[in-house]
Amino acid sequence: MRILVTGGTGYIGSHTCVQLLERGDEVIIVDNLSNSKATVVDSIEKITGKRPVFYEADILDKNALDSIFAAHKPEAVIHFAGLKAVGESVSKPLEYYHNNITGTLMLLDVMRAHNCFKIVFSSSATVYGTPASVPIREDFPTGGTTNPYGTTKLYLERILSDLYVSDKRWSVVLLRYFNPIGAHESGLIGDNPNGIPNNLMPYVTRVAKGVLPELAVYGNDYPTHDGTGVRDFIHVEDLAAGHIAVLGHMEDVGVQVYNLGTGVGYSVLDLVNAFEKATGIKVPYRIAERRAGDIAECWSDPSKAQNELGWKATHTLEDMCRSAWNFEKAN
């Protein structure tokens, strides 16, 4: 297939591009490099032996998108591009709504103009807000998002669903990711955020490397087995594989929603312990105040994706820790 991947040099996008190229797809990446580097294209080539087509372009730039679609005539789009820092979105709501929502509207408009009606969209478990119970199923209510980032995902799910109502040529797959961590086994691509990481795993690996002094564990008084927050950590390679599984199920699907998670929740301290065990490196930590906007527990029921797509996460927490450390060491 000819697949246009927005945000393809980013963390999840790069791992997905590797798997697309490995199975013989033609890949066209569009990324403005606001949170990634052009050298990721070299790394993708090193891993796969194939170089994806790469455009440094913004999805807000309709003329640029139009020329790219005219030149490559993609059959489907996997849409990763977006701003994703929860905390930053609270202080920069306009930037988040503009980039994520206006950017997606531009993309959809250009897709329609070029008769490309298949889209896989990167949504998030944040659309469930504070779930009434866990594990979370796709039919749980959405809404009650606690930050503008999460709200962009909620609105975009709605916009994509409305689009299908208006025109049945669209096939829309909304993928609600849980917590991707880990890196490609080669150590060539991984989670490489600019500045001080917001997310747990890149923080842990930088403490392990000695770049940051200690991890702050945000709260140990949650109603969980050890008091720290519980999340559904999923290896980024499994998450990428979920996109590949979806591509085989995109003919006349209407609008489909899938959780991509493991179905198992681990706490922050479980992850720290697993990391120490997998790498033999101590991760100094202190217990800090709860972080605003966090919830106690968030983990998925992934059975819909298993039953309908034949996809299942296979990597262990140890695999995730080892690969994340392997990437950090190499970078």
Q: Rule CB under 6 A: is residue 217 a binding residue for ligand UFG?
A: yes
Burial of 68 (0-12, 13-18, 19+ CB in 10 A): buried
CB 182 within 8 A of CB 319: yes
CA dihedral 79, 31, 2, 80 (to 10 degrees): -20
| Span near ligand UFG by CB under 6 A; candidates 18-26, 64-72, 102-110, 124-132 | 124-132
Q: What is the largest CA-CA distance in the chain?
A: 55
Strand partners, 231: 266, 298
285 binding partner (options ligand UFG, ligand NAD, none; Cβ < 5 to 8 Å by kind): none
Q: Distances in Å between the alpha carbon of 103 and those of 32, 123, 215, 219?
A: 12, 15, 35, 36
Which one of 96, 149, 222, 266 is the catalytic residue?
Answer: 149
Residue 39-78 contact track with ligand NAD, rule CB under 6 A, x = bound: -------------------xxx------------------
Residue 228: CB minimum distance to ligand UFG, A = 7
Q: Rule CB under 6 A: is residue 33 a binding residue for ligand NAD?
A: yes
Q: Rule CB under 6 A: is residue 178 a binding residue for ligand UFG?
A: yes
CB 12 within 8 A of CB 240: yes
Residue type, 270: D
Query: Which residue minimizes CB distance to ligand UFG?
Result: 229
Q: Rule CB under 6 A: is residue 241 a binding residue for ligand UFG?
A: no
Site size toward ligand UFG, by CB under 6 A: 22
Strand partners, 265: none
| Span near ligand NAD by CB under 6 A; candidates 81-89, 132-140, 210-218, 310-318 | 81-89
Q: Which is nearer to ligand UFG, 128 or 311 (CB)?
A: 128
Q: Rule CB under 6 A: is residue 200 a binding residue for ligand UFG?
A: yes
198 binding partner (options ligand NAD, ligand UFG, none; Cβ < 5 to 8 Å by kind): ligand UFG
CA dist 84 and 86 (Å) reads 6
Pick from 16, 13, 28: nearest CA to 75: 28
Strand, coil or helix: what is 126? Answer: helix
Q: Rule CB under 6 A: is residue 125 a binding residue for ligand UFG?
A: yes
* Lookup result for tokens 């190229």: 21
Q: Rule CB under 6 A: is residue 157 a binding residue for ligand NAD?
A: no
- The values of phi and psi at residue 281, to 5°, are -110, 135
* Of positions 3, 4, 5, 12, contacts ligand NAD by CB under 6 A: 12
Q: Where are the alpha helices (DSSP H) in 114-235?
A: 148-166, 200-209
Burial of 215 (0-12, 13-18, 19+ CB in 10 A): buried
Pick from 261, 236, 246, 309: nearest CA to 118: 246
Q: Which is nearer to ligand UFG, 152 or 279 (CB)?
A: 152
128 an active-site residue?
no
CA dist 90 and 143 (Å) reads 17
* Of positions 134, 298, 309, 324, contacts ligand UFG by CB under 6 A: 298
Q: Rule CB under 6 A: is residue 231 a binding residue for ligand UFG?
A: yes
Query: Which residue minimizes CB distance to ligand NAD?
Result: 10
CA dist 10 and 190 (Å) reads 9
182 binding partner (options ligand UFG, ligand NAD, none; Cβ < 5 to 8 Å by kind): none
Applying CB under 6 A, the residues found at the interface with ligand NAD are: 6-7, 9-13, 30-36, 58-60, 80-84, 99, 103, 122, 124, 177, 179-180
Applying CB under 6 A, the residues found at the interface with ligand UFG are: 84, 86, 124-126, 177-179, 198-200, 203, 215-218, 229, 231, 268, 291, 294, 298
Active-site residue list: 149
